[in-house]
């Protein structure tokens, strides 16, 4: 018998896992932004001392996971599971980062929704009684993402007004079956939404309908109003996608005064040349594991709905003229069970 399923897409945990540790690592551009004070490490060299951008991404994940484990006062060997992913082909950033960590590992791919997806699965695993400790980690790197999805930096291509800047950063969360808050209390698993957008430089427009669908499903499944949460935050729609989501809800007669987006928070949109804002797996990962969770521990927010968004395209699908399937997973984080 299903006892935890609420509505069509949401689960309510009987024993909400505790967020025992969280940390994030970023590059120089992110460190120049408005959230600098919330990051655990700001590296001035975007290579992170490595010989390639891809190896730099693995190095970031190792740093973030190590810092999160230290805050949780746990060794890597105590983790029952690790869920992680990135934007690179075959998730090599995470695969090589986890190499030698001696942790049972599930590699995932949800594009920029990876942080929410990995956190969802880790929380489900612990609430289900399959372990005592689990970790979630993800990353992105501006240079590796540009090389894979758009054009190598050496090409010097012109960025469109709707384009977003891939965050160079990694975030990690350590969950415990028992412990103090904040807690992961609910998860709403998203559905694929594809409205026919084919422009790979318009991620915000492509992902906004998926964000709207998941947030609406979460509220309906739990019979909640948006005001239940102190903050509803998507990641990473950027300025355009954020406006689209607000317009969708306005048409439903709801004005989300408590709504924001990781892509608009991580950079100074007026003074940093990022066009519509931040993107990439690392965008929502560093905002969650820095700014948002630090804010909850400081008492700024007690209830946050964290909604990771992802565009499930590839260079091959784009070249073949395919539209962009998108996803959004929502994770409710609360200071009390």
Q: Kindly report, residue by residue over 216-272, the tens digit of the pLDDT.
A: 999 999 999 999 999 999 999 999 999 999 999 999 999 899 999 999 999 999 999
**Arithmetic mean of pLDDT over the chain:** 94
State the pLDDT at residue 219.
Answer: 98
Neighbours of 132 (CB within 10 A): 15
Q: How far is CA 235 from the centre of its chain?
A: 6
User: In this predicted model, what pLDDT tens digit does every residue of 157-176 receive, in sequence order?
Assistant: 667 778 888 999 999 999 99
Read off φ and ψ for residue 120, nearest 5 degrees: -60, -50
Give the separation between CA 234 and CA 203, rounded to whole angstroms: 13
Same-domain check for residues 241 and 327: yes
The tens digit of pLDDT for each residue in 308-337 reads: 999 999 988 988 999 999 999 999 999 998
pLDDT at residue 149 in the model? 72
Mean pLDDT of 3-8: 94
How many other C-beta atoms can be found within 10 angstroms of the C-beta atom of residue 105?
Answer: 16
Domain count, the chain: 2
Q: Which of 176, 201, 230 is the last residue of a domain?
A: 176
Pairwise CA distance, residues 171 & 93, whole Å: 13
- pTM for this entry: 0.96
Residue 260 sits in a domain whose CATH number is: 3.40.47.40
- Could you tell me how many residues make up the chain? 337
331 φ/ψ angles, rounded to the nearest 5 degrees = -125, 120
Residue at which a domain ends, from 155, 176, 197: 176
- Which range of residues forms the domain containing residue 141? 5-176
85/189 same-domain check: no
* In a shared domain, residues 164 and 21: yes
Residues 261, 159 within the same domain: no
Terminal-residue alpha carbon distance, the chain: 23
CB burial of residue 244 (10 Å; 0-12, 13-18, 19+): middle
Bridge partners of 233, per DSSP, are: 260, 306
Both 171 and 189 in one domain: the answer is no
Does residue 153 surpass a pLDDT of 60?
A: no
Same domain? 193 vs 158 = no
Q: Helix or strand or coil: residue 86?
A: coil
Q: Is the pLDDT of residue 105 over 60?
A: yes
What local confidence, expressed as pLDDT, does residue 321 receive?
A: 94
Residues 251 and 323 grouped into a single domain: yes
Q: How far is CA 207 from the centre of its chain?
A: 13
Dihedral (CA of 282, 285, 289, 293) sign: positive
Q: Which of 295, 271, 43, 319 is nearest to 167 (CA)?
A: 43
- Are 152 and 11 part of one and the same domain? yes
- Please indicate, yes or no, whether residues 150 and 261 belong to a single structural domain of this protein: no
pLDDT range class, residue 36, cuts 50, 70, 90: very high
Instruction: Judge if 248 and 228 occupy the same domain.
Output: yes
Q: What is the DSSP letter of 258?
A: T
- Report the pLDDT value the prediction gives residue 156, as an integer from 0 to 100: 59
Chosen domain end from 176, 198, 215: 176
Same domain, 123 and 272: no
DSSP string, 227-246: GGSSEEEEES-HHHHHHHHH
Residues 166 and 191 in one domain: no
Nearest Cα to Cα of residue 327 among 108, 147, 43, 74: 108
């Amino acid at each position: 018998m299903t006892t935890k399923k609420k509505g069509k897409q949401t689960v309510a945990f009987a024993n909400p896992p505790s967020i025992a540790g969280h940390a994030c690592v970023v590059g120089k551009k992110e460190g120049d932004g408005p959230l600098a004070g919330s990051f655990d490490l700001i590296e001035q060299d975007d290579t992170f001392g490595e010989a390639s951008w891809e190896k730099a991404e693995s190095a970031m994940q190792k740093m973030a996971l190590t810092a999160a484990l230290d805050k949780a006062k746990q060794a890597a060997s105590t983790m029952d599971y690790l869920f992680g992913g990135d934007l690179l082909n075959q998730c090599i950033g995470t695969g090589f980062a986890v190499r030698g960590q001696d942790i049972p590992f599930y590699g995932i791919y949800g594009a920029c929704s990876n942080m929410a997806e990995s956190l969802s699965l880790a929380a489900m695993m612990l609430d289900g009684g399959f372990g005592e400790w689990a970790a979630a980690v993800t990353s992105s790197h501006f240079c590796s993402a540009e090389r894979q999805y758009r054009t190598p930096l050496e090409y010097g291509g012109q960025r469109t007004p709707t384009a977003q800047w891939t965050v160079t950063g990694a975030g990690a969360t350590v969950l415990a079956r028992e412990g103090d808050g904040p807690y992961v209390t609910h998860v709403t698993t998203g559905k694929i939404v594809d409205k026919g957008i084919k422009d790979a430089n318009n991620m915000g427009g492509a992902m906004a309908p998926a964000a709207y669908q998941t947030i609406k499903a979460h509220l309906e499944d739990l019979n909640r109003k948006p005001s239940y949460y102190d903050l509803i935050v998507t990641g990473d729609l950027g300025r355009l996608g954020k406006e689209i989501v607000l317009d969708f809800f306005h048409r439903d007669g709801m004005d989300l005064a408590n709504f924001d987006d990781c892509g608009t928070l991580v950079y100074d949109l007026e003074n940093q040349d990022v066009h519509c804002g931040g993107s990439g797996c690392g965008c929502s990962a560093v905002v969650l594991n820095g700014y948002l969770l630090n804010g909850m521990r400081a008492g700024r927010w007690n209830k946050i709905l964290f909604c990771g968004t992802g565009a499930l395209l590839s260079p091959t699908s784009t070249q073949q003229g395919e539209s962009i399937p998108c996803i959004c997973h929502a994770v409710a984080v609360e200071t009390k069970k």
